[in-house]
Amino acid sequence: MADKKLTPEDIAGIKYSPAERDWMDPTVEFKKGTYVYSAPLKDQQMLQLPNPRQWNPLDEDWKLPENWKQIILEAMKDRMDKFRSWKLFLDICVRCGACADKCHFFIGSGDPKNMPVMRAELLRSVYRKYFTAGGKVFGRLGGARELDEKVIKEWYYYFYQCTECRRCSVYCPYGIDTCEITMMGRELLNAVGCSNEWVVSPASNCFRTGNHLGVPPHAMKQSLESAADDVFAVTGIRVDVPINRKGAEILFVTPSADYFATPAWYTLMGYLMLFHEIGLDYTFSTYASEGGNFGLFHSADIAKSLNSKIYAEAKRLGVKWILGGECGHMWRVMHQYMDTFNGTADFLEQPVSPLTGARFENAASTRMVHICEFTADLIHNHKLKLDPSRNNKWKVTFHDSCNPARSMGLLDEPRYIINNTCNYFYEMPENTIRERTFCCGGGAGLGSDENMEMRLRGGYPRANAVKYVQEKHGVNVLACICAIDKAVFPPLLEYWVPGVETAGVHELVGNALIMQGEKTRETDLRGDPLNNVGKNEGGTNVV
């Protein structure tokens, strides 16, 4: 990639028929653009990770601790005793191959070890060798192989070529979830001090400052106020930005990218406008200033540690319930892990919309509601005045972010919002949306720039489906509800589908929302003129 630009023809030339080769011999080549850097020492130390050290995947010697093999095998045993999923998934795969071509990394790279079944076999082969009679007796014939340093390197390479998107799990006849496999693979690597910078540095920042980007409280305040200024510039309305306010009814938690990076920034503006318009009694928090949780991409313990701030802060501020912004893996944690990690939340109240009186029964225990559920309910109950024509320049398609789709089933709420705030909405082909959605290619800690070739490859199936609706319907914006999407898609789409922008669903809400006392809007939230409908989107015919 570094030398030669990756082209659609390169991908079209990939044969999904791997050449005959014995995968049991660990072969891994750390090529520029296809792997992630190792975690800096200071961040390993901040999180007190085991066997901390400076090392580099390109080095021959990874400076593994002396008893690394024993550490790995003990960690395997420990996880088998703690996670039924893992134990079961090591045992019951029949290698039918249904998962093989469901992985965006396999589709984009053709590397047979990116077939989900192979990713798991990289671990299973070691499991058989040390934990099953068949593997001990028959060795390779029994599907077993020796654990050596090359295997560790192979694990590092391939467990950081999985975005834990769970697409393969949809197709597996036993529901084997490669996300569980990868999570455990990473836990094993962590145990011997092999972790990834793009995971550990944000997690370390989040531990200390409350958010992945390491934004300290005063800077966060400035940032939110500057978003309020931007809202003022567009609408002429001065919106409040309540922060760390005790006694608010609702704690609002959103990924830090929303107040630090575009295009997530416009989503933040949308939230601020919405909350102002409905007079929501809410607060941001600087301590719990991160909805996302990169700990999830590291280990259950770090995930739990970072997540603990949400309930702790809700308790300290004395709110009634929690509202969460647009984010993918954040909602995996909030929906499937938070209550288990850090519940119970009985100091909170069961969420009720102060505007419509709707009780969010589906959040009765965790007491945290997704912003799309909240807004869809507002729209359904006619609490918002919307002018979808303000989004007329957008021909919208919706990308189901992996986690809200496959871990929550949040599918129709965002579509309902889009349909009420936009006039032009087109679905991508059915094999690429809803529970079959394709990952952006940069989730689970793979979104770093040094990994760009793999990101482009992994994101190709999604981009290819976007290209289809671009050509068929003139789609020019990909709406999504995930902060990683909002960071990963702009370069990905610029590369594969120039002319298609990325937007949060609440940016579209902000554009369409008619606010009381607003001035005549001349621009959308991006500052682009509103009347410039049908302007040449450009870029589609780049040679």
Partner 1 sequence: MTGKKVLIPLGAVIGLVLLAVLFFQVAGLHYFVLIILPYICGAIFFAGLIYRVIRWAQSPVPFHIPTVCGQEKSLPWIKQDKLGSPSNWLQVTGRMLMEIFLFRSLFRNSKVEHAPEARLVYGGNRWLWLGGLAFHVSLFIILFRHLRFFTEPVFAPVLWMSDLDGLLQLAIPTLFITDIIILIALIYLFTRRVVFAQVRFISLPSDYLALFLIMGVAISGVLMRSVFKVDLTYVKELAMSIIRFDPVVSGAIGLPFFIHIILACTLIAYFPFSKMMHAAGILFSPTRNLLNNSRMKRHINPWNHPVRVHTYAEYEDEFRNQMKKVGLPVETDETGSK
Within 464-503, the residues that bind partner 1 by CB under 8 A are 464-465, 467-468
Best CA proximity match to 346, nearest among 323, 360, 361, 367: 367
Residue 222 interacting with partner 1 (CB under 8 A): yes
Residue 82 interacting with partner 1 (CB under 8 A): yes
Residue list 27-66, contact with partner 1 (CB under 8 A) = 48
- Answer whether 391's CB lies under 8 Å from 512's CB: yes
Which of 164, 230, 377, 524 binds partner 1 (CB under 8 A)? It is: 377
What's the closest the beta carbon of residue 219 comes to partner 1, in angstroms?
8
Residue 18 interacting with partner 1 (CB under 8 A): yes
In the complex with partner 1, the residue whose CB is nearer, 258 or 290, is 290
Residue 256 interacting with partner 1 (CB under 8 A): no
Longest Cα pair distance anywhere in the chain, in angstroms? 78
Residue 146 interacting with partner 1 (CB under 8 A): no
Residue list 169-188, contact with partner 1 (CB under 8 A) = 169-177, 180
Which of 436, 473, 521, 526 binds partner 1 (CB under 8 A)? It is: 436
In the complex with partner 1, the residue whose CB is nearer, 400 or 524, is 400
Look at the block and give the residue holding tokens 């969460």: 324
Residue 123 interacting with partner 1 (CB under 8 A): no
Which of 246, 382, 517, 541 binds partner 1 (CB under 8 A)? It is: 246
Residue 217 interacting with partner 1 (CB under 8 A): yes
Residue list 390-409, contact with partner 1 (CB under 8 A) = 405-409
Residue 262 interacting with partner 1 (CB under 8 A): no
Phi then psi for 368, rounded to 5 degrees? Answer: -135, 130
The three-point CA angle 191-192-193 to 5° equals 95
**DSSP single-letter state for residue 352:** B
What's the closest the beta carbon of residue 531 comes to partner 1, in angstroms?
35
Residues 6 or more apart in contact with residue 48 via CB below 8 angstroms: none
Residue 419 interacting with partner 1 (CB under 8 A): no
CB half-sphere exposure, 215, CA atoms < 13 A: 24
User: DSSP string spanning 175-207?
Assistant: ---HHHHHHHHHHHHHHTT--BHHHHHHHHHHH
Residue list 298-337, contact with partner 1 (CB under 8 A) = 300-302, 304-305, 308-309, 312-313, 316, 334-337
| Separation in Å, CA 372 to CA 53, 170, 308, 414, 483 | 42, 24, 23, 6, 14
In the complex with partner 1, the residue whose CB is nearer, 78 or 387, is 78
In the complex with partner 1, the residue whose CB is nearer, 373 or 524, is 373
Residue 80 interacting with partner 1 (CB under 8 A): yes
Interface mask toward partner 1 for 195-214; x: CB under 8 A: ------------xxxx----
In the complex with partner 1, the residue whose CB is nearer, 350 or 392, is 350
d(CA 339, CA 344): 6
d(CA 175, CA 26): 27
Residue 421 interacting with partner 1 (CB under 8 A): no
What's the closest the beta carbon of residue 530 comes to partner 1, in angstroms?
31
Residue list 336-375, contact with partner 1 (CB under 8 A) = 336-337, 339-341, 343-344, 358, 360-366, 368, 373
Q: Please tell me whether residue 407 adopts helix, strand or coil conformation.
A: helix
What's the closest the beta carbon of residue 64 comes to partner 1, in angstroms?
24
Where helices occur in 192-283 by DSSP H, the ranges are 197-209, 217-235, 264-277
d(CA 203, CA 493): 27
In the complex with partner 1, the residue whose CB is nearer, 294 or 341, is 341
Residue list 279-298, contact with partner 1 (CB under 8 A) = 286-287
Residue 141 interacting with partner 1 (CB under 8 A): yes
In the complex with partner 1, the residue whose CB is nearer, 22 or 66, is 22
Which of 83, 130, 426, 495 binds partner 1 (CB under 8 A)? It is: 83
68-82 and 149-159 helices cross at what angle (nearest 10)? 50
Residue 268 interacting with partner 1 (CB under 8 A): no
Which of 25, 59, 81, 528 binds partner 1 (CB under 8 A)? It is: 81
Q: Which amino acid is present at 163?
A: T
Residue 432 interacting with partner 1 (CB under 8 A): yes
Residue list 88-117, contact with partner 1 (CB under 8 A) = 88, 91-98, 100-102, 107, 112, 115, 117
In the complex with partner 1, the residue whose CB is nearer, 472 or 519, is 472
First CA to last CA distance, the chain: 18
Burial code of 353-378, b = ≥16 C-beta within 10 A, e = fewer? Answer: beebebebeebeebbbbbbbbbbbbb
d(CA 32, CA 36): 9
Q: Please tell me whether residue 232 adopts helix, strand or coil conformation.
A: helix
The three-point CA angle 297-505-370 to 5° equals 60
Contact window for partner 1 (CB under 8 A) among 14-22, 31-39, 149-157, 389-397: 14-22
